[in-house]
Amino acid sequence: MIMQSIFLAEAVRSLDSLTWTIVLVGIGIVFLSLLIVYWFFRYVLTFILNFRLKSFARKKGINPTEIQTVKTIQSGEVNAAIAMAIFSYFNELHDVESGVMTIKRVSRHYSPWSSKLYNMKNL
């Protein structure tokens, strides 16, 4: 036990500052990329969808100020109602079963499950 802790202490001392720099830069890059992906889906994608929705409204001849934005279309109450409808639908698909199982016994002379039995020798 003591030998392992001494070996571990020597291994940690042998790591130079460049190793810790590489580790910290790597962790920083990962968190920065996660932050950029979050910003993209949170703000940039919403901006793009709203821009496309307004340009579609202009093509159809609707006033763009009257059109709903993406944030108002995706309200929480609507999402909850859709989720509840899907949940109810999938629960009605199941049949009500009796819970009784019937096992039908079939005798076979050879099956792969019993092949080891035929290979054994009686002494």
CA angle 87, 91, 93 (to 5 degrees): 125
> pLDDT for 46-79, tens place per residue?
888 878 877 777 777 777 666 665 555 566 778 8
pLDDT number for residue 112: 61
- Read off the tokens for 107: 């005798």
Q: What is the mean pLDDT of residues 11-18?
A: 72
> pLDDT for 78-108, tens place per residue?
888 888 999 888 887 666 666 777 777 766 6
Contacts of 14 (CB under 8 A, 6+ apart): none
What is the pTM assigned to this prediction?
Answer: 0.38
